[in-house]
Structure 1
Amino acid sequence: MKKDKKKIIGETLSDERIKELLALKSPFGESRSFHILTRAYRTLRQEDFSRFILFYAETGLELNPCDRSGRRFLDILSRHQHATPYIQTLQTVSIR
């Protein structure tokens, strides 16, 4: 983090702020869906991710995209120790 940037912990995010992630562009060769979900997973608290994923699902973007190596997003998350609530959120949305 840049020294001129103040780290904010526990900030309440507005819907508009959460939706900003939907405008992200992916690096060359990476799935836009994968890039957006990865950034949301890495930057949002679980409760904010749950709100985000509802907006994300409305866009029609893929809920379980592949990375450049062909690995599915949920498969990658399943290897993360604290990812269970995020996985459950994604599975709940994909059932709808």
Structure 2
Amino acid sequence: MEDKKRGAERTQPATRDEFWTDERIQSFLGMLPPEGVPADYHVLLKAYRGMLPDAFERFVPFFVEAGRDINVKLGDGSTFLDHVARHRKSVPYMEILEAAGAVRSR
């Protein structure tokens, strides 16, 4: 397996100030999870990893309106908000999730 590339080793440049259409944001709702991962958790994780806070803030209402579970839990009982809360620069994402009704399990 290839090691994770860092900084200048990356072949795809980071994109900033990119406009995300509603269609692109909503396309995350159709992502299929790997076996053993709850679909709603997988979709939230992909959106969290792939979007800056402004796009994520637009994504969450689409997620909720689609009837998805903002408080989906993993097998250990942890919620997606528990996962996000462990990250250093996650405050904007946490605030977006909490405004949509997300709670921590602990």
TM tier relative to shorter chain: 0.7 to 0.9
Instruction: Find 1:80's aligned residue among 63, 80, 87.
Output: 87
Distance 1:36 1:86 in 2: 14
Distance 1:7 1:85 in 2: 20
Pairing 1:61–2:72 present: no
Which structure 1 segments of 5+ residues have no match? none
Structure 2 SS opposite 1:94:
coil
Instruction: Find 1:20's aligned residue among 27, 41, 50.
Output: 27
Structure showing greater relative contact order (alpha-carbon pairs closer than 8 Å, 6 or more residues apart): 1
Distance 2:39 2:97 in 1: 17
Percent identity over the alignment is 31
TM-score after normalising by structure 2: 0.78
Instruction: Give the partner amino acid of 2:72.
Output: P
Compare CA radii of gyration and give the structure with the larger one.
2
Which structure 2 segments of 5+ residues have no match? none
* Count of equivalent residues: 94
Instruction: Find 2:37's aligned residue among 30, 38, 46.
Output: 30
How much is the aligned-residue C-alpha RMSD, in angstroms?
A: 2.0
Whether the 8 Å contact between 1:31 and 1:68 is mirrored in structure 2 is: no
TM-score after normalising by structure 1: 0.86
For the structure 1 residues 78 and 23, does the alpha-carbon distance in structure 2 shift closer, same or farther, using more than 3 Å as the test? same
Distance 2:93 2:13 in 1: 27
Deviation of residue 52 (structure 1)? Answer: 0.4
Deviation of residue 91 (structure 1)? Answer: 1.1
The ranges of structure 1 where at least 4 consecutive aligned residues each deviate by more than 6 angstroms after the TM superposition are none
Deviation of residue 60 (structure 1)? Answer: 1.0
